[in-house]
Amino acid sequence: MAAGEVCVTGLGLLTAAGDGVAATWERVLRGEPTAVVEHDPGPVHLACRVAAFDQARIGAIRARKPDRSTELAVLAAREAVADAGWDTARWDGARVGVVVGTSSGNAHTHEVQHRALLDGGPQDMSPFAVPSTLGNSVAAQLSMDLAAKGGCLTVNTACASGATALGVALDLLRAHRCDVVVAGGTDAPLTPYYIAGLDRVRALSQRFDDPAGAPRPFDADRDGFVLAEGAGMLVLERSDDARARGARPRARLLGYGAASDAHHVAQPCPAGSGLTAAIRAALHDAQVTAGEVGYVNAHATGTPLGDRIEAAVLAELLPHRPAVSSTKAVTGHPQGAAGAIEVALTVLTVQTGTMPPNVNLDQADVGVDLDLLTRPRTGPVPLALTTSVGFGGHNAVLAVAAP
Amino acid sequence: MSFAEWKPVLVSIGLSEDEVTAEATREEAGLDSLALMELSLVLRQRFGVVVTDEEMHEATTIAEVVELIDARRAG
């Protein structure tokens, strides 16, 4: 165990695939898609929604009227903290940090309050409109809910936000600015503005006659991603601290790499140079070689261009052909939550030695030369990578190792 | 309407089921200044009852808040 090494002691997930870590993991391994066709709000679209849950689980929290993205994050964070064996009434909150990645956080509340303002004037706006929609509000709510009084940050790298949050958390722990960090991502963008706006970008799958067949990461017939909601939160600690308190690390977070394409507001750089740089940086940070990577949980969302570029980058940097899968055919694409959910799934992969399959992969696209799993594969996975890419050219990669 | 009838409205704006009692002070029930404004908004939009934030601030306990709302509703 290297000095300053950081491990994952707790996981929390609330996704379209399931309520909780166990349910999500089970459905991801089973490979059962979640997309459904919706007509409201228009235009007609596919969606992967988190199933309804008992609102009493949220309780009365200080946000008063939390946005759905906040609710999802609170529930996932509570699960992660309990999984880590922590009692928030007992930890030294001053040493506990929170880092939340969110891309369109609080979108629903923002849109509802803007409508109230336009329709009824200022007096019809809730006094909670601004405090509930500022970019920091999910992280602030988590700090209150968890009595976490250390650094409390929000990061936004669009669809890489959740992965970036974990990279920032890793840095906070290595620098001894915190002893525990609750970090992850959340988004609930199934709102009129984001559905219509992403439809206008032509980013969304139009497979309305076969919703279960969408999205189709790496498949020749892919036509876009499916917008989803969800949250993934993790508890990170330095490994020596975790062991000293008798915690059971699920995995080690060995390295983080980030790079920007500096290319385009929505399209990835055709050469994949940012993603390449981020993967190399993560391997360097982890002090491992590319040949040690046994599995990659790919960002691949099912868009024609993005998947092709990512496949080419992975094939070039990892010529020994490690197993690769995208779990988005089951979870959909929950934007800023995606990276954190996929780090959590990668933690489960290295911990259990079970690699999840690609789903809706009938025929890999021409030029995609990867060992793409079409059913779960078992075997030791000492080292795995997970990639995340966001609008604006953000790339974030984490290296995860077995405990 | 009685306290029991208004309580769900108070809970609906985000107050704790347990903390909203007739005897509780506004502070104990979590009815801070923002929550008071939210309550005024909900009362106007859902019940057509107009109570200003300033009037709400005069009430010390939840029972007094409910009394004020009832008085306005009757008026």
Q: Give residue B2's pLDDT band: very low, low, confident or very high (50, 70, 90).
A: confident
Residue corresponding to tokens 């959740």:
A162
Q: What is the pLDDT of residue A143?
A: 96
Sequence letter at residue A256: Y
**Interface contact A126-B41, CB threshold 8 A:** yes
Spatial distance between the Cα atoms of A183 and A100, rounded to a whole number of angstroms: 6
What is the interface size between A and B, counted as CB pairs within 8 Å?
Answer: 32
Q: Which of A213-227, A261-275, A353-367 has the lowest mean pLDDT?
A: A261-275
Answer yes or no: do A128 and B34 touch at CB < 8 A.
Answer: yes
Are A127 and B30 inside 8 Å of each other by CB? no
Shortest distance between the Cα of A151 and any Cα of chain B, in A, equals: 26
pLDDT digits (tens, 9 = 90+) for A168-181: 999 999 999 999 99
3-state secondary structure of A270: coil
% of chain A with per-residue pLDDT over 90: 93
Note whether A265 contacts B: Cβ–Cβ < 8 A. no
Per-residue pLDDT at A369: 95
- Cα–Cα separations (whole angstroms), residue A346 to A237, A297, A355, A357: 17, 7, 8, 12
Residue B53: predicted pLDDT: 81
What pLDDT is attached to residue A335? 98
pLDDT on residue A198: 96
Search chain A and give the residue with CA nearest B29: A60
B interface test, pick of A117, A126, A133, A137 with most B CB neighbours within 10 Å: A126
Q: What is the pLDDT of residues A304-331, one digit of tens each?
A: 999 999 999 999 999 999 999 999 999 9
Q: For residue B41, which of B28, B52, B32 has the smallest C-alpha distance?
A: B52
- Work out the pLDDT band at A150, boundaries 50, 70, 90: very high
Give the C-alpha separation, A15 to A170, whole Å. Answer: 24
Domains of chain A: 6-401 (3.40.47.10)
Residues of B in contact with A128 (CB under 8 A): 34, 38
Residue range A20-74, pLDDT digits in tens: 999 999 999 999 999 999 999 989 999 999 999 988 888 766 556 789 999 999 9
DSSP B46: I
The one-letter amino acid code at A241 reads D
Please state, in angstroms and rounded to a whole number, the distance separating the CA atoms of residues A350 and A383.
Answer: 7
| A131/B41 Cβ within 8 A | no
A239: exposed, middle or buried (C-beta count within 10 Å: 0-12, 13-18, 19+)?
buried
User: Is A394 a residue of the active site?
Assistant: no
Residues A41 and A196: beta-carbon distance below 8 Å: yes
Strands A251-260 and A394-401: antiparallel
Report CB contact under 8 Å: B38, A64: yes
Q: Where are the beta strands (DSSP E) in A176-215?
A: 180-187
Work out the minimum CA distance from A203 to partner chain B, whole angstroms.
37
Residues A252-300: tens digit of each pLDDT:
999 999 999 999 988 888 899 999 999 999 999 999 999 999 999 999 9
Asked if residues B45 and B57 have their Cβ atoms less than 8 Å apart, the reply is: no
Give the separation between CA A251 and CA A257, rounded to whole angstroms: 18
With 60 as the cut, is the pLDDT of residue B72 above it?
A: yes
What is the pLDDT, as a whole number, of residue A62?
Answer: 54
> B11: which chain A residues are within 8 Å (Cβ-Cβ)?
60
Mean pLDDT (chain A) is 96
What is the chain B residue with the closest CA to A65? B14
- Short-list A233, A258, A260, A237, CA closest to A249: A237
pLDDT confidence of residue A55: 84
A103-131 exposure pattern, b = at least 16 Cβ within 10 A, e = fewer: bbbbbbbbbbbeebeeeeeeebbbbbbeb
The pLDDT value recorded for residue A267 is: 86
The verdict on whether A269 is a catalytic residue reads no
Q: Which of A45, A108, A110, A299 is catalytic?
A: A299
**pLDDT value at residue A60:** 63
Domains of chain B: 3-74 (1.10.1200.10)
